[in-house]
């Protein structure tokens, strides 16, 4: 395929800026964010600040994608209805404000629910572009021709972008090999970002049809689409159907509930079948294409038992484990398929616009409100947790940590407030305010919840609260006034040191550090007791976060012990203590990672 000339690219570029100014700006902004993300992703610059910046850049790219598709749909509506410039910009401003609100209200890095919301909005807004110019218009052929043009333009843009990137990447490899230029991987990724997010998007926008009236009068049909549907999609549909029919027979014979995998097969059958019918829609009435009507009727008739099977599969999962976002979406798709099947079996209109419009509405409805996927899922899992919280059944004990982990990951620690008098919002804010990495923060939230509710994890081990304590006066060991220093090994080990005719023996056994003088006990610090008291202070929010990752300051006097013996002062100082606190204390002899020293002063 011939690549576009520079003149064509220039005119297309200028036309996009004039016709779609805001989508053009969003495409450029997304490209810049992606390039900057590549720059800060260098592992040598890895830090908490870089992780937060990367999260913000990823969110910015996602929201810019939403803004581009939403404002593009608004521009297409304005073009089709020939709105005046003032009204057009007012609508664009409305789309921009919606995008800004989404940016500040969504936090996909910390809450899985917001990640689902972004995907649902993206799906809905892309569907909106497909039918936006035809809202209120009874023009089916124009709608099909418009989406055909978008589909072909998308494939063309992808092909041109792939060829352009491959050519430029090979040129960079040649330069690097011939001139030892030292081109880094970031250069290749930046080039990929500029072509895929910048060139590809702008090239696609330049090919969006402008004359909607002419689309309705256009009855051209690419033979390639018919061939693709007839010899690729229809055979795939037949394969999926054959597998599903054999599986239904197995269910009927063995009288067992369907497995979860069957949902994917049914959705695959539905997607390929509906797509093949959409691709051949304009020629279904032409001579020689009677197979299309037969296939359409057969496809939707076979959807009836498959939808029943899909609903049974969903009901099996929901009945055992309650509703989650994925099960909500699967249920919504099953009900949508049932409605679409009945519509195309019994409706005389056969309006294919119903497909994208209904899917768009369902996606929007699932994002916010009491009927949304997230509200329904949250209350379903809270109800499930309430039902099993005080249960001692084996299955319930196994389910509790999974439910708690889901609620914390998806909706936050504060979601569990009905089950405790502790201020979980305050605890969550404290964890968010630490210098820990995002993964550590999420794990801390889960560990805190499991510790508060005294729940064991899936492996039958009580999940504790992991923190690191730093001596607030000895982050750098202060040896002023002491005459001798002995570094104590952090691993279990007994070590004897001759000291002016005296044998000093230091011993670390799991949770205790001991000093023996002439093999007689002289001094001891119990690390377990220190850690238990510190962990309780942490849960009450009384520990101050240190500057270093995952560390909290703890009073020096509580991390050291001293004793005067035979004219010498012996002091054991713990400068760093890391471990896990188990509220039920089922681990009677825990192991701690420590940095500790023996200081000696002659009196």
CB 63: neighbour CB atoms within 10 A?
25
Is residue 65 helix, strand or coil?
A: helix
Residues forming beta bridges with residue 598, ordered by sequence position: 486, 572
Residue 191 is given by DSSP the state H
Give 94-146 pLDDT, tens digit per residue: 999 999 999 999 999 888 899 999 999 999 999 999 999 999 888 899 999 99
Q: Where are the alpha helices (DSSP H) in 82-139?
A: 85-105, 112-131
Report how far residue 149's alpha carbon sits from residue 317's, in angstroms, rounded to the nearest whole number: 41
Residue 160 pLDDT class (50, 70, 90 cuts)? very high
Give the rounded distance of the alpha carbon of 114 from its chain centre: 8
Report how far residue 89's alpha carbon sits from residue 86's, in angstroms, rounded to the nearest whole number: 5
Q: Which has more confidence, 101 or 446?
A: 101
Q: Is the pLDDT of residue 458 over 60?
A: no
CB 597 within 8 A of CB 484: no
Give 26-56 pLDDT, tens digit per residue: 999 999 999 999 988 765 555 556 778 888 9
The average pLDDT across 555-560 equals 87
Q: Could you tell me if residue 228 is left (phi over 0), alpha (psi between -120 and 50 degrees) or otherwise beta?
A: alpha
Strands 551-554 vs 465-471: parallel, antiparallel or unpaired: parallel
Report how far residue 293's alpha carbon sits from residue 329's, in angstroms, rounded to the nearest whole number: 30
Report how far residue 593's alpha carbon sits from residue 554's, in angstroms, rounded to the nearest whole number: 16
Give 481-534 pLDDT, tens digit per residue: 888 888 886 665 677 888 877 878 877 766 788 888 888 888 888 888 888 888
What is the number of alpha carbons within 13 Å of residue 402 lying toward its C-beta?
13
Average pLDDT, the chain: 85
**Is the CA virtual torsion 245, 247, 250, 252 positive or negative?**
negative
What is the number of alpha carbons within 13 Å of residue 98 lying toward its C-beta?
17
Residue 550 pLDDT class (50, 70, 90 cuts)? low
DSSP H or E segment with residue 302: helix 290-321
Q: Is the pLDDT of residue 2 over 70?
A: no
DSSP readout, 405-448? HHHHHHH-GGGGGGG-SS-HHHHHHHHHTSS--HHHHHHHHHHH
Report how far residue 110's alpha carbon sits from residue 108's, in angstroms, rounded to the nearest whole number: 5
3-state helix, strand, coil in the chain (%, to 5): 65, 15, 25
Residue 17 pLDDT class (50, 70, 90 cuts)? very high
pLDDT of res. 460: 42
pTM of the model: 0.75
Strands 560-565 vs 568-581: parallel, antiparallel or unpaired: antiparallel
Q: Is the pLDDT of residue 587 over 50?
A: no
The average pLDDT across 427-436 equals 75
In what side-by-side order are the strands of the sheet with 512-517? 493-499, 502-509, 512-517, 520-526
Q: Which has more confidence, 131 or 462?
A: 131
Q: Is the pLDDT of residue 548 over 70?
A: no
């Amino acid at each position: 395929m011939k690549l576009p000339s520079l003149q064509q690219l220039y005119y297309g570029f200028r036309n996009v800026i004039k016709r779609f100014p805001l989508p053009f700006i969003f495409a450029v902004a997304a490209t810049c964010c992606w390039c900057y993300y590549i720059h800060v992703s260098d592992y040598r610059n890895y830090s908490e600040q870089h992780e937060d910046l990367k999260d913000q850049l990823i969110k910015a790219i996602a929201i810019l994608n939403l803004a581009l598709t939403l404002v593009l749909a608004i521009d297409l509506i304005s073009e089709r209805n020939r709105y005046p410039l003032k009204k057009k910009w007012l609508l664009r401003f409305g789309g921009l404000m919606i995008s800004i609100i989404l940016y500040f209200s969504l936090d996909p890095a910390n809450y899985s629910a917001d990640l689902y919301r972004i995907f649902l909005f993206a799906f809905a807004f892309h569907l909106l572009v497909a039918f936006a110019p035809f809202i209120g218009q009874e023009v089916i052929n124009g709608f099909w021709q418009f989406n055909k043009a978008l589909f072909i333009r998308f494939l063309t843009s992808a092909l041109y972008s792939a060829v352009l990137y491959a050519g430029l990447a090979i040129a960079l490899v040649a330069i690097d090999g011939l001139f030892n230029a030292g081109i880094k991987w970031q250069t290749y990724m930046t080039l990929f970002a500029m072509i895929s997010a910048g060139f590809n998007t702008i090239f696609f926008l330049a090919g969006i049809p402008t004359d909607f009236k002419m689309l309705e009068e256009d009855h051209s049909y690419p033979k390639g689409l018919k061939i693709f549907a007839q010899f690729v999609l229809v055979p795939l549909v037949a394969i999926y159907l054959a597998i599903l029919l054999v599986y239904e027979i197995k269910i009927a014979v063995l009288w067992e509930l369907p497995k979860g995998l069957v949902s994917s097969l049914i959705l695959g059958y539905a997607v390929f079948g509906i797509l093949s019918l959409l691709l051949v829609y304009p020629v279904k009435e032409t001579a020689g294409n009677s197979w299309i009507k037969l296939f359409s009727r057969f496809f939707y008739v076979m959807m009836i038992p498959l939808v029943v099977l899909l609903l049974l599969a969903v009901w099996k999962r929901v009945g055992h484990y309650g509703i989650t976002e994925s099960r909500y979406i699967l249920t919504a798709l099953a009900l949508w398929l049932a409605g679409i099947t009945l519509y195309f079996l019994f409706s005389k209109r056969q309006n294919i616009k119903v497909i994208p419009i209904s899917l768009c509405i369902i996606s929007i409805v699932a994002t916010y409100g009491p009927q949304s996927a997230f509200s329904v899922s949250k209350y379903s899992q809270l109800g499930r947790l309430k039902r099993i919280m005080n249960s001692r059944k084996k299955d319930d004990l196994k389910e509790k940590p999974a439910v708690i982990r889901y609620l914390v990951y998806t909706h936050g620690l504060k979601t569990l407030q009905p089950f405790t008098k502790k201020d979980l919002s305050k605890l969550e804010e404290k964890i968010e305010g630490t210098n820990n990495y995002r993964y550590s923060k999420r794990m801390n939230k889960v560990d805190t919840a499991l510790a508060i509710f005294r729940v064991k994890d899936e492996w039958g081990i009580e999940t504790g609260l992991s923190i690191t304590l730093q001596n607030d006066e000895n982050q750098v060991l202060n040896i002023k006034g002491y005459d001798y220093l002995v570094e104590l090994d952090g691993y279990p080990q007994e070590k004897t040191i001759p000291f002016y005719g005296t044998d000093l023996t230091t011993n670390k056994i799991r949770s205790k550090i001991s000093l023996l003088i002439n093999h007689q006990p002289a001094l001891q610090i119990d690390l377990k007791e220190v850690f238990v008291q510190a962990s309780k202070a942490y849960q009450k929010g009384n520990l101050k976060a240190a500057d270093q990752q995952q560390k909290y300051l703890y009073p020096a006097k509580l991390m050291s012990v001293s004793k005067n013996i035979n004219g010498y002062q012996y002091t054991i100082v713990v400068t760093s203590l890391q471990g896990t606190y188990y509220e039920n204390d089922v681990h009677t002899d825990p192991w701690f990672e420590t940095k500790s020293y023996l200081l000696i002063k002659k009196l």
